[in-house]
C-alpha cells in the first residue's frame, strides 16, 4: 500500500492506496505544537480505525506547506511504517512542466493539485482549491502550469470579519436564500458564500481570456468547496481527493512502486 499525506496549514489529509483503490481517507488537525511521537500515535490510531496494519505499507509520499512540521511527520511515518516518505518538490514533482520559475520553488500543494488534474481531466484545466487559502491553478492544453491566483480563504475572511467588528458573529458557511440579507447572519452568509462564488466566477472568466481558451475543464477541491461551488455560475467538477490522487501519480512517476 501507498501512504499519501497532504499537510496543509489547517488540516493533514491522509490516504491509503491499495493499487488504484483508495482504501481510506482521514484527516488530522495541523497542530504545530505536536511532537513527532504524538503524530506517530495519531497515525497508529488511524490505521487501527481502518483495519490497516503499518506493515501493509510499501511506500509513502508527503506534500507539505508547513516546513516546521515536515520533519515531525517524516519521523512519525518512519516510526510507524518503517519507511521514509518522499517529499514533493525538487526531485519529486511528477515531471510537471512549468516555465515561470523552477518547479522546485512551487508549493507542494500546487504541484500535487496540478498533477492530479493532468492525470484525471481533459486539458486545459483550472483547479480551484478552497482550503486555508483560495487558489485557482491554470494548466494549459499542453499540460504546462501557467500560474495561479491566491486569495484569503473562506474561513480566514470570515474570521477577520468577526474579529475586526464588535457586533458581527461567527456563522456557518451556508448559502442564504437570496443575496440581499434581511438579518446579520444572512448578510454575512451572502457576502462570504455568494461573494466567494462570484470571485471564482470572475477570476475563472479572466483566466480563460488570458489563456485564450473558451472550453476549459474546471475542477474544485479543498474543504470549503461543497459550501461554495453550488453557488457558482461556472460549471465546476468537485473532486474531494484530487490532491491525494496527484500524490499517488507523483509517486508512480518517480518509479518507486
Q: Which of 6, 109, 239, 245 is catalytic?
A: 109
Q: How far apart are CA 168 and CA 158, in angstroms?
A: 10
Here the CATH number for the domain that contains residue 40 is 3.30.420.40
Determine the pLDDT at residue 164: 72
For residues 231 and 117, state if they share a domain: yes
**Which range of residues forms the domain containing residue 57?**
2-87
Residues 147 and 197 in one domain: yes
pLDDT in the model for residue 166: 62
Last residue of a domain, one of 38, 66, 87: 87
At 99 the pLDDT is 83
| 127 is a domain residue | yes
Helix (H/G/I), strand (E/B), else coil: 247: helix
Are residues 72 and 188 part of one domain? no
For residues 66 and 112, state if they share a domain.
no
Does 184 score more than 90 pLDDT? Answer: no
Does residue 227 share a domain with residue 158?
A: yes
Residues 171 and 65 in one domain: no
**22 CA to centre of own chain:** 17
Give the total number of structural domains in the chain.
Answer: 2
Report the pLDDT value the prediction gives residue 173, as an integer from 0 to 100: 83
Is 109 an active-site residue? yes
Do 129 and 167 belong together in one domain? yes
**Residue 7 contacts residue 34 (beta carbons within 8 Å):** no
45 plus 104 within the same structural domain: no
Q: Residue 56 contacts by C-beta under 8 Å, 6 or more apart in sequence?
A: 1
Give Cα 147 distance to the centre of its chain: 16
Are residues 192 and 157 part of one domain? yes
The size of the chain, in residues, is: 257
Q: Smallest Cα–Cα separation from 192: which of 175, 167, 168?
A: 175
Same domain, yes or no: 225 and 112:
yes
Give domain status of residue 227, yes or no.
yes
**Are residues 68 and 57 in contact, defined by beta-carbon separation less than 8 angstroms?**
no
Question: 124 and 54 share a domain?
Answer: no
Q: Could you read off the pLDDT of 79-90 as tens digits, one per residue? A: 999 999 999 998
| Boundary-marking domain end, from 57, 87, 117 | 87
- In this prediction, residue 123 carries a pLDDT of 97
Per-residue model confidence as pLDDT tens digits over 34-86: 999 999 999 999 999 999 999 999 999 999 999 999 999 999 999 999 999 99
Q: According to the model, what pLDDT value does residue 257 have?
A: 63
pLDDT band at 102 (very low <50, low <70, confident <90, very high): confident
Least confident of 145-149, 160-164, 230-234, 248-252: 160-164
Residue 92 lies in a domain: no
**pLDDT surpasses 90 at 171:** no
| Pair (102, 75) in one structural domain | no
Cis amide linkage into residue 50, ω under 30° from 0: no
Q: Examine residue 250 and state whether it is found in any structural domain, yes or no.
A: no
Amino acid at each position: 500500500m501507498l501512504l499519501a499525506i497532504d499537510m496543509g496549514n489547517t488540516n493533514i489529509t491522509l490516504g491509503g492506496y491499495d493499487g488504484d483503490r483508495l482504501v481510506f481517507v482521514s484527516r488530522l488537525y495541523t497542530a504545530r505544537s505536536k511532537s513527532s511521537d504524538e503524530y506517530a500515535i495519531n497515525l497508529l490510531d488511524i490505521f487501527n480505525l481502518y483495519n490497516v496494519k503499518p506493515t501493509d505499507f510499501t511506500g509513502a509520499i508527503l506534500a507539505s506547506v508547513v516546513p516546521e512540521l515536515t520533519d515531525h511527520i517524516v519521523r512519525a511515518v518512519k516510526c510507524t511504517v518503517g519507511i521514509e516518505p518522499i517529499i514533493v518538490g525538487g526531485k519529486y514533482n511528477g515531471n510537471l512542466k512549468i516555465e515561470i520559475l523552477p518547479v522546485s520553488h512551487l508549493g507542494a500543494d500546487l504541484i500535487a493539485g496540478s498533477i492530479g488534474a493532468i492525470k484525471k481531466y481533459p486539458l486545459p484545466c483550472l483547479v480551484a482549491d478552497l482550503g486555508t487559502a483560495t487558489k485557482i491553478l491554470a494548466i494549459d492544453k499542453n499540460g504546462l502550469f501557467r500560474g495561479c491566483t491566491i486569495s484569503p480563504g473562506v474561513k480566514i475572511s470570515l474570521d477577520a470579519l468577526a474579529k475586526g467588528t464588535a457586533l458581527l458573529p461567527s456563522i456557518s458557511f451556508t448559502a442564504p436564500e437570496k443575496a440581499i440579507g434581511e438579518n446579520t447572519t444572512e448578510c454575512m452568509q451572502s457576502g462570504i458564500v455568494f461573494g466567494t462564488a462570484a470571485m471564482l466566477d470572475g477570476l475563472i472568466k479572466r483566466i480563460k481570456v488570458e489563456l485564450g481558451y473558451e472550453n476549459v475543464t474546471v475542477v474544485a477541491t479543498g474543504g470549503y468547496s461543497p459550501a461554495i461551488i453550488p453557488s457558482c455560475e461556472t460549471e465546476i467538477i468537485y473532486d474531494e481527493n484530487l490532491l491525494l490522487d496527484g500524490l499517488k501519480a507523483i509517486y508512480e512517476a518517480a518509479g518507486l512502486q
